[in-house]
Amino acid sequence: MNDLLPLWITLAVLLLAGLGFVGVSASRRSKTLPPADRRPEIDGADGHADLDEDPAAAGAVDTLPGQDRPDTLDHPAGPVAPTAEPEVLVDVPEPPAGRLVRLRERLARSGSPLGTRLLAVLSRDHLTEDDWDELEETLLLADMGAGPAGELIDDLRTQVRVQGVKDAAGVRAMLRGALVTLVDPTLDRSLSTTATTTDGTKVPAVVLVVGVNGTGKTTTVGKLTRVLVADGNQVVLGAADTFRAAAADQLTTWGARVGVETIRSFKDGADPAAVAFDAVRAGKERGVDVVLVDTAGRLQNKAGLMDELGKISRVITKEAPLSEVLLVLDATTGQNGLNQARVFAEVAGVTGIVLTKLDGTAKGGIVVAVQRELGVPVKLVGLGEGPDDLAPFDPEEFVDGLLQG
């Protein structure tokens, strides 16, 4: 037993030495990474390093043993470019010049009963009283009105009696001249797009657009915006039709298509005069050329309409003079449209007419009738449903379209 004692002592020493080595190794390994309470402070809200507390933590990353800490963190595909703002695409409206040629072509394709019937009767070898009555009836059915129709018949009677024109070319030329005279090419059909105050300060030209709902008034304002932009004008729109909920949205969409700002109210039943005033003031501040104001098309009674439009006009003129008051009329409504026109002319001081849906009727006489009734020119005509189907009115192009049937 005593002989084994040195062996047991040797084994015990070796065991104690091994345990001590393991403890030292574990202690050294524990220093490789700092404990949790010694890591950089973490913002509990978003899990990112608190750069104010430890600026160096912005680039700190854990590395595996044997790896070098990278100086920078590059994106796998290279540097990340800043996100670009989405490009806003706007339409480039068609130039207004030459648009009326399309109306001429459409009237010709429709076989205009006005021009066709007038030419057919006037080409007869001998014109009886019944023939003249037929001519007058044709003019009346074309919504020309009794007064202008009588004048045209008298003019044609004189020319036929004096000149004795019988050939087709001569008859056409005679009729064309009489119709152009009746439509009156001497009227000023230009839109006023410049304005100044009494002291000579340049301000935006303010164009007020009025008319009954259902005539395409707001759409016409949108199309007129494109005409003005195509002519190089800077425009601001005023959505003063606060009676119809969709009118402001509709007008805003039209303006956005050509990069034009719309001043509107998001409050139901807002004061139209206040919106118009804000639009004119915004136009002055932005230095634009034209402020185009859409108004409500209510025609409940003359007194109410007068009060509303009168207030809008008074408020606008505190900021800038009123350059134009355009009345939008549906060319297909005939005499009913003329009745509406009379009321607006008395209330709003109309300076020009915009006839919509003129391509939808081959009557054509409404142009003469409305000018004669109101004493103001037709300045623009609607040619169709397209965004650029609004054209400056040209008497000779219009008459040529009627006579191409």
Residue 348 marked as a ligand binder: no
Residue 356 marked as a ligand binder: yes
| Measured distance CA(245)–CA(262) in Å, rounded | 15
Residue 214 marked as a ligand binder: yes
| Measured distance CA(371)–CA(256) in Å, rounded | 34
CA dihedral 331, 332, 336, 337 (to 10 degrees): -20
Residue 56 marked as a ligand binder: no
Residue 217 marked as a ligand binder: yes
SS3 of residue 392 by DSSP: strand
Q: Write out the H or E segment, with its range, that includes residue 176.
A: helix 168-183
Residue 83 marked as a ligand binder: no
Residue 211 marked as a ligand binder: yes
| Measured distance CA(67)–CA(71) in Å, rounded | 12
Residue 249 marked as a ligand binder: no
Residue 138 marked as a ligand binder: no
Angle at 221 between CA 249 and CA 102, to 5 degrees: 125
Helix axes 168-183, 366-374, angle to 10 degrees: 30
The token pair that represents 384 in the structure block? 């169709």
Residue 233 marked as a ligand binder: no
Residue 202 marked as a ligand binder: no
Residue 296 marked as a ligand binder: yes
CA dihedral 275, 277, 281, 283 (to 10 degrees): 70
Residue 357 marked as a ligand binder: yes
What are the binding residues for GTP?
211-218, 294-298, 356-359
What are the binding residues?
211-218, 294-298, 356-359
